[in-house]
Amino acid sequence: MQCMPNETTYNILLLSTSQLGDLEEVGKLVDRMMSAGLKVNALACISLFYILCSKGELTKAEKIWSQFAECGGLITDAVFWTAVISRLCKARRQVEAYNIFGHMVNHRLPLTISSCNALMDGFVKEGKVDEAYKLWITLRQTGIKGDAFSYSTLIHGFSSIGKFTEGNILLEKMEEDGCAPNLVIVNSLLQGLCSQGKAEDAFHLMEKMSNQHCLPDVISYSVLASGFCKIGKIDEALKVLNVMKARGCKPNAFTYNALIIFYIKVGNIKSARSILAQMLHEHCSPDEVTFNLLIGGYGKIMNLKKALHMFRRMKKLGVHPGAFTYRALVMTFCRVGSFQQSLGLFDVMLSLGLDIRLRDYNVLLSALCKAQSLTAAFCLMEFLKEEGFILDVITYSILIHGLCKCGRLDEALKLSQEMRLIGCAFNVFTYNALIMGFLQAGKYSDAAKIFELMIVQGCSPDICTYNMIIMYLLKSGRLWQACEVFLRCLEACCPPDRGFYRTFVSGLLDAGRKHSSKQDAISLEKRRSSVIHLMRSHLRDLCKMGRTDVALKLQRHLGLNRITEYNMQCP
């Protein structure tokens, strides 16, 4: 008599096979069980489900769970479901994780703070902070209080999207739940505030938390110093540095690098270098970023000698130059026209096993084109193709711009055709280069065609596009067309800056002086009135957006008739 394996036999086999990790055999066993009308028991299901999730086989895991549920099975182990939710969230399978959470709620399975934390963390990482907050509300309604991780996740999420009021409210609720704020949470808020240019608010928050015995660390001070530097308040940043030292917290390279970034940005390379001297005096080891910033700073002022000196000093202090260091040097060599040395640096990078990207070669291409060394630029382009680089829109645009600048329009158009053939879409810089080339050659109709094609292809013109066309039309006396393009600029919601308005108005008036006939003068006045009327409308729009101060400054700058704040306010 033949002895057939029963449900228990299959489940024992399934459990042992799943623990061995033989997923193929597991699949066969499950199929045989289903065909025989046998059920996977809870223990085997839990083991199999967890192993499949841990190996990333989420689709198979979901299938097992569905089959188990269809057979009337119900796993009540909250620890198991928490682990599953965590696995799914780590694999960015947020929808499936949320479905399992819904399964727990629907079957009144015990919810844990850990399962909710995993789900909230997943939502925040996907940028769905509001969804995470709704989940937190659901959690509180069930009587479960959040822990430090819950609050940290939500506060970080709100900070990342600029909702600092909500973050501060949560900070206060922490104490109600008997959960003391920690530095991770506070630093997250500080970083968020500083990223939004609210360094002063960040400073007040830091002082408030200090009074509540949550003392700032080197990260807190460094973030704050960097925040003040980003909004141009170097004196405040230096005060933070002094407070930091007075409280016994030693600044690190990140702290000092923030100051160096500021000084280089404003062109004060001397002060930037003095920060390096201060670091060495205080036995704070500079890192690669420190030297990269200084090398780049000297490169901006084309001081190759000092840049190379800094490079040598870097190696002398035991700081190994990386790809970014060599890129900064390449840019410096390019700025001073030492193209051969730039190529030599690429060879050094290759010998060191450093990654050379297409954008690194684009820097050299741009420098060659600016120096009108187009033959060398095209030799480099061919070299890149031979090396297997796929040229991108930036590479082509640089070369097209170089050709147009030298008046070689036919070659520029040929290169643009090559772009189309390989499916490389134009960007605004490509179109602007072609428009500039045609305008320089006095071929306005061709430039206008490129402009219209640009819009048809879904590439929005920028302020440079409009400025080039308008200035050409004004200089050639085509005042009416210039006004029309100006109106299109405003209608396209391309925000003109103060300099653009000044250039347009002065260009309009200068062009008007060249027209002596009465008919031209009348025509110009009509067009000018139309533009001025639209500009007034634009000023009112600024006020409606709450930018009355900007509108009033712009009005005074343009010399328009007085428009009172009352008339400019929202109706």
Query: Please, what is the Cα angle at 522 between 516 and 524, to 5 degrees?
Result: 80
| Other beta carbons within 10 Å of 320 | 9
Non-local CB neighbours of 402 within 8 Å, separated by 6+ positions: 368, 369, 370, 372, 374, 377
Output the pTM of the full model: 0.66
Q: Among the ranges 231-240, 470-479, 511-520, 539-548, which has the highest mean pLDDT value?
A: 231-240
> Residue 142: phi, psi to the nearest 5?
-85, 0
pLDDT, one tens digit per residue, over 135-161 is 888 777 777 777 778 888 888 888 778
User: How many residues appear in the chain?
Assistant: 571
pLDDT of residue 228: 94
Task: Say how far residue 327 (Cα) sits from the centre of its chain.
Answer: 21
Instruction: Compare 73 and 541 and report the one with higher pLDDT.
Output: 541
Task: Say how far residue 1 (Cα) sits from the centre of its chain.
Answer: 72
CA 562, CA 557: separation in Å to the nearest integer?
A: 11
Three-state DSSP at 43 gives helix
pLDDT of residue 26: 65
- In this prediction, residues 22-27 reach a mean pLDDT of 66
**Burial class of 4 by CB neighbour count within 10 A (0 to 12, 13 to 18, 19+):** exposed
Instruction: Compare 75 and 448 and report the one with higher pLDDT.
Output: 448
Instruction: Say whether pLDDT at 519 is over 80.
Output: no
> Residue 543: phi, psi to the nearest 5?
-65, -40
- In this prediction, residues 492-519 reach a mean pLDDT of 60
pLDDT of residue 270: 95
Residue 362 token pair: 């684009």
pLDDT of residue 508: 63
